[in-house]
Structure 1
Amino acid sequence: MIPPKPASRAGRVPLWRYARAFRKDILSAQPERLYRAWMADFRTPFFRSVLVNQPELVDEVLKGRPQDFPKSDRVTHGLKPLLGKAVFVTNGETWARQRRLIDPAFAGGKVEDTFPSMLAAARALSMRLDVGTVDVEPLTSHATADVIFRTLFSIPIEDEMAADVYEAFRGYQRTQPVLSAAALVPMLRHIPAWRGRARAKRIRQLIARLVEGRRSAIASGQAPDDLATRILMACDPETGAGFSDPEMIDQVAIFFLAGHETSAAALAWALYLLAMHPGVQDRVAGEARRFAADPTLRTLRNLTLTRNVFRETLRLYPPVPMMVRQTTRKECFRDRELGRGTQVVLSPWHLHRQTRLWPDPDAFDPARWERDETREIAKAAYMPFSAGPRICPGAGFATIEAQVMLAVLLAAWKVSLSDGPPPVPVAHLTVRSADGIHINLSRR
């Protein structure tokens, strides 16, 4: 059984029709040839963009100096009312300073300190489930938001403030397109983004209260040792300064948006893939039962198949399907001259399904991750968390979280396909389903 994949557009279309399709869904707006091309060139009256699938070019863009290919603000323009100058959207020294303050909080054993909170959130999700057909997307969104609140501010999602923030984010995400008109028409980029502005303001007000409360707790010596405390107390080794409250609000906004939305999308698709493949699910459930008998970080490391299921899910359904950088000078890619300001699109969605690189690229095959061949391919063509200096600082966090969630759920619940139509992947802020991901739940 081949997992769901959106149909590609057929042939060439006028720019206005492409723009309309792009705003609705990035994935189905693209031509089929991108799954086999090393590079594709797109030209509009306003800008030029190239999508690169050749591993050497991807490496050049991602793993070189960040200032050579900074992040483009075309796609993120509409998020600025919410994110401000968060690490996800900044470039240059601002970005470098933010990473110096953030990275230590996610380094090594500090991520492992969040394990108890992840386990508690996973158990809470399992307790909320009931037998029958469910749309798992809202469930995984609620659960991963719970993880963020527990690990960032040491409060469960049932806390009144946490619930308010979560509901405000849900409303914001439903109204925010992945592509604003400013991404296509340069002169509009100077006009402040308006869509979702009121909701963004409300979210930032709620986050401000959380940050102010934590700042007070730190001053009184009563702050818990969680991610918020570590980041607020961090000092830049080069300047000695830390984040101001407005800067911290920016960072919390992206932690929540990226940390819960991307994990929720991946977890929902993983459950659907396991419902499609009951044989794999039974083996994952075996690992899960052993983990449930002794749920520790030591036994978590034994979840080899569970980890490979998550890797394969991220290959097929990378939560962030495309990233956009831009050139700062003239470049030459595959004998083509690129002018300054050319948009360089890196597409995990297409790279992870590149027919020249991956055997059976559309198939769900967790066993591929046991083969040396796959590990070599992955070095060049697997980047669900980006790569190079701008790799997501929460990559390790997300991987541990997914394993804990899947193990706790599969130890208690069996998932199977519902009678309805299969989900259709679409790209909004992340790769979600057009009409939900419906599966059947029964107790083991």
Structure 2
Amino acid sequence: MTAPILPPKPKARAEKVTLRQYVRLFREDILSAQPAKLYRAWMAEFRTPFFRSFLINQPDLLKTVLKERPDDFPKSGRISEGLRPLLGQSVFLTNGDTWKRQRRIIDPAFEGGRLRETFPAMWEASQAAVKRLEAFEGGEVEIEEHTSHAAADVIFRTLFSIPIEHEIAAEVFHEFRAYQRSQPILNVAAFIPLPRWMPRFFRSGTRASAAKIRGLITQLTSKRMAEIEAGSAPDDLATKIMTTSDPVTGERFSTEEMVDQVAIFFLAGHETSASALAWTLYLMAQFPEWQDKVAQEAAIGLSNDFSAVSKLRIARDVFREALRLYPPVPMMVRENTCPEKFRERDVNVGSQIVLSPWHLHRHERLWDNPDGFDPARFGTENGKSCLRDAYMPFSAGSRVCTGAGFAMVEGVLILSMILRRYRVTLTNRPAPEPVAHLTVRAKDGIWLRLEPRDAARNG
């Protein structure tokens, strides 16, 4: 009997390592640093000389942290140390009243009606992505580069009404590509509490890249602020956010505050979508029967109409399954502010609570066939139950990603449009190895072969 095909994942490390070895492994790749037992544990404790960490996979504990008492478990400052140079005081890093104010201003821009308004820009970006792939017909292509290009194009078209070819947009994209490869998820301060005056030991060029990206974004936001004041601003996401007043305080974002938010929109909206799309296309090459289903569905139901997206059910389940196997943000960290007892263990104030979609989505005691690729699972009782209790590619609760709906529309649309036009197949290169930079990417890229679909050319 032929062994089932399993999508690649990093080999788990040995169970016993020293703290120094673990820190080194963590900085090299957060995924392969983890022991195999975390794929079946309900909770695991990790001790350092400075703090304790608790990774939790048990659904009721996740519900407590994310949904029932989120204010008692704010975002950990240990994570923000590494991202602060780029993201400043963005909604991704803040807590408490500051975060609530930011969400009150941002959330209206991503409501259902606004998604419908952004769809034409998504469609144009998807068409442009397919057009760029023409140069690789019949040959090999490193698909991560192209999904990054496509996702960045979507962000710039929907946020600022400019294509990726715009001079500033192109420069931001170029700088961000370099930044995401140089910046690990965790800075050394994640392990060692450093005084504020001490350097944070960023990798060479990371701080400079962050400053350049923020400078370019400042140009775009300053220009938009001037257009808003002159009454000539286009009706896009940036204008919507910058003209929305907090219903509680009446305040709007300043230009500087908007720079912080645009930085996270680009990180969350471009980097995560690029990762998810690249892994989805790799899975399609590995599972051609599902690829053909997506292509056939797209040939019939895909059109430049927002309502058509709801008909692309196979593409949605395929993309959803790719997000399960390769969640773009593999781990999230909260900090405990109240004494707790989880699974009969004391969780002291200041402990780090690690929420790991990477482990939760492949948990051996929750999911049927946890390492297998099966988009049909979401129609089963197990799949439906896990969607509620063990699936959080966009986090969950009040801090769920405000752009989750945006990402699902974008991912399904671009995937369907590419597969309607092209068949993707595996190459003779080694299977891609998942590693965590800012998101889950392939260590040496994801290489695929592109073949045009004759039927698509006639469509």
Q: Same fold (TM over 0.5)?
A: yes
Matches within 5 A, 1:53-72: 53-72=57-76
Q: What letter corresponds to residue 60 of structure 1 in structure 2?
A: T
Contact 1:80/1:193 (8 A) holds in 2? no
Q: CA deviation digits over 1:72-103, x for unaligned, max 9?
A: 02122111111110000000100000000000
Query: How far apart are the structure 2 equivalents of 1:274 and 1:370?
Result: 20
Query: How far apart are the structure 1 equivalents of 2:370 and 2:451?
Result: 31
Which residue of the partner structure matches residue 144 of structure 2?
A: 137
Which residue of the partner structure matches residue 356 of structure 1?
A: 365
Matches within 5 A, 1:311-350: 311-350=320-359
Query: How far apart are the structure 1 equivalents of 2:201 and 2:41?
Result: 37
Q: Choose 367-376 or 424-433, whichever is displaced more.
A: 367-376
Return the match for 1:308 from 297, 303, 317.
317
Q: What letter corresponds to residue 123 of structure 1 in structure 2?
A: Q
Query: How far apart are the structure 2 equivalents of 1:343 and 1:373?
Result: 30
Aligned-partner SS, 1:324: strand
Return the match for 1:277 from 287, 290, 295.
287
Which residue of the partner structure matches residue 156 of structure 1?
A: 163
Return the match for 2:304 from 287, 295, 298.
295
Q: CA deviation digits over 1:109-159, x for unaligned, max 9?
A: 111211111111111010011221111011100110000000000000001
Alignment of 1:399 with 2:408, yes or no, is yes
Query: How far apart are the structure 2 equivalents of 1:191 and 1:5?
Result: 36
Return the match for 1:115 from 104, 113, 119.
119
CA shift for structure 1 position 179: 1.7
CA shift for structure 1 position 371: 1.9
Aligned-partner SS, 2:79: coil
Contact 1:43/1:49 (8 A) holds in 2? yes
Which residue of the partner structure matches residue 456 of structure 2?
A: none
Q: What letter corresponds to residue 90 of structure 2 in structure 1?
A: A
CA shift for structure 1 position 193: 3.7
CA shift for structure 1 position 189: 5.7
Cα RMSD between the aligned structures? 1.1
Query: How far apart are the structure 2 equivalents of 1:192 and 1:117?
Result: 42
Which residue of the partner structure matches residue 204 of structure 1?
A: 214
CA shift for structure 1 position 171: 2.0
Aligned-partner SS, 1:216: helix
Return the match for 2:188 from 181, 189, 205.
181
Q: What letter corresponds to residue 261 of structure 1 in structure 2?
A: E
Contact 1:182/1:189 (8 A) holds in 2? no
Q: What letter corresponds to residue 38 of structure 2 in structure 1?
A: L
Q: What letter corresponds to residue 186 of structure 2 in structure 1?
A: L
CA shift for structure 1 position 377: 1.8
Return the match for 1:87 from 88, 91, 102.
91
Aligned-partner SS, 1:113: helix
Q: What letter corresponds to residue 60 of structure 2 in structure 1?
A: E
Query: How far apart are the structure 2 equivalents of 1:112 and 1:415?
Result: 29
Contact 2:272/2:328 (8 A) holds in 1? yes
Which residue of the partner structure matches residue 432 of structure 2?
A: 423
Contact 1:83/1:250 (8 A) holds in 2? yes
Q: Choose 187-196 or 391-400, whichever is displaced more.
A: 187-196
Which runs of 5 or more residues in structure 2 are unaligned? 454-459
CA shift for structure 1 position 191: 3.0
What TM-score does the superposition give when structure 2 sets the normalisation length? 0.95
Q: CA deviation digits over 1:224-267, x for unaligned, max 9?
A: 11100000000000010100111000000000011100000000
Which residue of the partner structure matches residue 385 of structure 1?
A: 394
Aligned-partner SS, 1:123: helix
Change (3 A) 1:136 1:392: same
Which residue of the partner structure matches residue 253 of structure 2?
A: 243
Alignment of 1:216 with 2:223, yes or no, is no
Which residue of the partner structure matches residue 34 of structure 1?
A: 38
Query: How far apart are the structure 1 equivalents of 2:439 and 2:295?
Result: 27
Q: What letter corresponds to residue 365 of structure 2 in structure 1?
A: R
What TM-score does the superposition give when structure 1 sets the normalisation length? 0.98
Aligned-partner SS, 2:293: helix
Q: What letter corresponds to residue 248 of structure 1 in structure 2?
A: M
Contact 1:327/1:341 (8 A) holds in 2? yes
Contact 1:291/1:407 (8 A) holds in 2? no
Query: How far apart are the structure 1 equivalents of 2:239 and 2:16?
Result: 52
Query: How far apart are the structure 2 equivalents of 1:193 and 1:111?
Result: 39
Change (3 A) 1:98 1:224: same
Which residue of the partner structure matches residue 109 of structure 2?
A: 105
Identity %: 58
Q: What letter corresponds to residue 404 of structure 2 in structure 1?
A: A
Q: What letter corresponds to residue 142 of structure 1 in structure 2?
A: H
Return the match for 1:262 from 262, 266, 272.
272
Q: What letter corresponds to residue 167 of structure 2 in structure 1?
A: E
Q: CA deviation digits over 1:298-355, x for unaligned, max 9?
A: 2221111000001100100000000000100211000001110000000000001111
Which residue of the partner structure matches residue 383 of structure 2?
A: 374
Aligned positions, number: 443
CA shift for structure 1 position 178: 1.6
Which runs of 5 or more residues in structure 1 are unaligned? none
Query: How far apart are the structure 2 equivalents of 1:259 and 1:300?
Result: 19
Which residue of the partner structure matches residue 16 of structure 1?
A: 20
Query: How far apart are the structure 1 equivalents of 2:370 and 2:166?
Result: 43
Query: How far apart are the structure 1 equivalents of 2:223 and 2:201?
Result: 29
Contact 2:188/2:201 (8 A) holds in 1? no
CA shift for structure 1 position 192: 5.0
Q: CA deviation digits over 1:425-444, x for unaligned, max 9?
A: 11111011111111110100
Q: Choose 71-80 or 341-350, whichever is displaced more.
A: 71-80
Contact 1:323/1:347 (8 A) holds in 2? yes
